[in-house]
Chains A and B, each alone.
Chain A
């Protein structure tokens, strides 16, 4: 089946949603960034896994935008080193490419796992959810570098948190680029979109390995 028609795409995604038990529709297997709009709707970044070609442009623009450098007194975007990016594209054989980044899980297992006492005033642990963008943020001063958040993410979600090699403090949580996600803007194929979805839908999260397994089964049955 080729997925160039909208009808076959919808059928495919509905099938995945049912198969995974409560997954959200519209091709958003786990790559969701809920952001409440003024009238209470949730807007999310959505990956269309049928389109992603694995080019990793998203990695380079994420890296450049989130790691700016000072050049001759001016703050400029970075060169685009993909090692620094929050979004990562995972490649599998047989051919599928799975872009994955922090899903901003509602019941964030990373925050749950953080052992640092909630602050008496703000209620925040070291790892906390930013109110404006709902992104997972780390307080570097309070973080003890125990790496429990990274482990929880790996076990219960997409495995997107990478502890810093020296300090152990969590990195690679999506920032939504302050409301103007660059990955969405620069994907040459339109595989990433910023969509409004209805609030009833449960958002669940899956590791790239699991997503790949489903995609491979769908595209290349009996391989």
Chain B
């Protein structure tokens, strides 16, 4: 099919075999690429439900989409797909029941995979010793990475490419967190771009896979070359126009939301007990631009340049890192009551240097801070760390413990759900997670749609899921095309994504067919989760949101109404065409979406 290379590069690290597998055209048509095709390949390649996510049998997929490689503005994203080492259902059908997992990262790696001649990489098995995979078009090798094992991501990012001797390589990797099997370890590229969530770095580490380096010289074919050029030109002109949205990405990145969210009362503050942070201006975009940001960066073919380089030089040494962003600045900043910009930058750098999910790490540290503050745990429990609210030093110590899986770090690395189970004393009420996956920087009271996003997300608590069905299915499609959500606003009307897809593939995509594709993929994910034992009982918010009111800020007194939220959720299931009692997609719905083969579940 035009628009695609039509090949998945399959690497078995146990048997050290390399295979180029043809992708069935129906799979391309029905699951698109990126997240969608990744899920279908995950379904096909998992040997059985309940597979241990850290076993060699759990495949990990690195999936660009059909846009990747073509300079369609901002189509730089790659989706990492696997079975989650983070989540678990109330009704554990299997010892290792868990949800699907997926995480997107920007940069240049997805396009390079496509230049090399593939539509994705599928890695299974486990290498005997640490290795990296090198891909140069047809030439694929598994090479020892023993000398890099233990190396932080920043140092690795710098020296690996020098060792390769060719700066044209794009590469992604894990840090010590992934190597040590921290469950919320991430996959990193260019030292700061992360496929952060869902424990994808942990799965990569469980395979002894340190890195993948890619270099390609080709280009996938296009069906309607003239239409493609025409759309490309129009898109570029559209991005050339000045707009407040474009200016905001350039000026602030997502850090623009730090002050915005706090002022709106929608920020995760003090372990979600508040929605507003008094010190937010000290760590917001304006302060960052003034004190630490030097340059703006963009991913492949992107006109927005939301990435920054922050040069922090103070009590914590000299660091250069993309910090803060909204999520990182909130979870390791506002959430921990930290308003020291240098300290925050250092914390974010250390989190990325270990290669761990900063959202989960920040959420976990905040949870422990609250437990410590309330006297539910003491210094002994924390290996002597005086984990007070607002302490950069204590937070740094915790990050090191987690990254190294040392002492209290071993349990903290599991996340807030197991921590609350261990600590008890009612702490599970403020363990802010869904299905075992920590919630992110957007708080819920007075913003119930965010709550829907968190409880219905197929990878566990996720702020990027979308608050209603149309949003969710649309996001699935972006994740499957290789498109960046930040540029979505420009892809409307004659520039809608489906027109590009039509030009690339030569098949006319109607709006309805486009929406159905997103719905299909979302339902496939849902059924894979249902198969593991997840159902309506897992789509629940932590008790805090129903019983604890904000004490300050514009949303003072806000709390989630239990019945109102339950009603919203039921309405969501109905509209989805799912059984309201279990949340399982009905057989009719599955049939309608071409997922009839899942109706036996």
Contact = CB atoms under 8 A, between A and B. Distances in A.
B320 A220 contact: yes
Contacts of B573: none
Interface residues of B, number: 47
B297 A54 contact: yes
A95 B216 CA distance: 23
Identify the 3 closest CB pairs spanning chains A and B, nearest first.
A188-B303, A60-B71, A55-B298
Contacts of B300: 55-56
A154 to B, nearest CB: 13
A2 B293 contact: yes
11 contacts: A3-B294, A55-B298, A56-B300, A79-B222, A80-B232, A81-B217, A93-B158, A94-B320, A95-B322, A189-B298, A223-B320
Tell me which of A56, A95, A222 has the highest count of chain B C-beta atoms within 10 A of its own C-beta: A95
Contacts of A57: 71, 301, 303
A124 interface: no
A61 B309 CA distance: 26
Given A2-B289, A80-B70, A222-B318, A90 B167 contact: yes
B186 to A, nearest CB: 18
A189 B305 contact: yes
A151 interface: no
A66 B212 CA distance: 31
Contact of A56 (B108, B232, B296, B311): B108
A77 B190 contact: no
Interface stretch (B19-27, B223-231, B375-383): B223-231
A79 B191 contact: no
Contact of A60 (B168, B190, B299, B301): B301
The secondary-structure label for the interface of chain A is loop
A53 B239 contact: no
Contacts of A14: none
A54 B299 CA distance: 7
A91 interface: yes
Contact of B309 (A77, A79, A82, A219): A219
Contacts of A2: 289-290, 293-294
A55 B225 contact: no
A15 interface: no
Nearest to A88: B168
A96 interface: yes
B356 interface: no
Interface string B214-253: 0011110010011011001000100110000000000000
A54 B106 CA distance: 13
A116 interface: no
B295 A79 contact: no
A3 B295 CA distance: 8
A219 B294 contact: yes
B205 to A, nearest CB: 22
B154 interface: yes
Contacts of A96: 295
A71 interface: yes
Given A55-B301, A91-B167, 20 more contacts: A2-B289, A50-B295, A53-B307, A57-B303, A60-B71, A60-B301, A69-B225, A76-B225, A77-B229, A80-B71, A80-B232, A93-B154, A95-B295, A95-B309, A97-B297, A186-B236, A188-B239, A189-B305, A219-B309, A220-B294
Interface in B191-229: 191, 216-219, 222, 225-226, 228-229
B336 interface: no
Given A55-B300, A223-B320, A79 B228 contact: yes
Contact of B320 (A76, A81, A95, A97): A95
A77 B154 CA distance: 39
A74 interface: yes
Nearest to B320: A94
A186 to B, nearest CB: 6
A83 interface: yes
B305 to A, nearest CB: 4
A83 B303 contact: no
Given A76-B229, A79-B225, A53 B318 contact: no
B78 to A, nearest CB: 16
B153 to A, nearest CB: 10
A187 to B, nearest CB: 9
B313 interface: yes
B411 to A, nearest CB: 33
Given A55-B299, A95-B309, A81 B115 contact: yes
Contacts of B293: 2
Interface in B282-322: 289-290, 293-303, 305, 307, 309, 311, 313, 318-320, 322
Contacts of A50: 295
Interface in A15-52: 50
Tell me which of A76, A88, A188, A220 has the highest count of chain B C-beta atoms within 10 A of its own C-beta: A188
A79 B219 contact: yes
Contacts of B318: 220, 222-223
B327 interface: no
B157 interface: yes
Contacts of A188: 73, 236, 239-240, 298, 302-303
Contacts of B108: 56
Tell me which of A69, A93, A220 has the highest count of chain B C-beta atoms within 10 A of its own C-beta: A93
A188 to B, nearest CB: 4
B413 to A, nearest CB: 27
A55 B305 contact: yes
Interface in A59-108: 60-61, 69, 71-72, 74, 76-77, 79-83, 88, 90-91, 93-97
Contact of B298 (A54, A74, A81, A82): A54
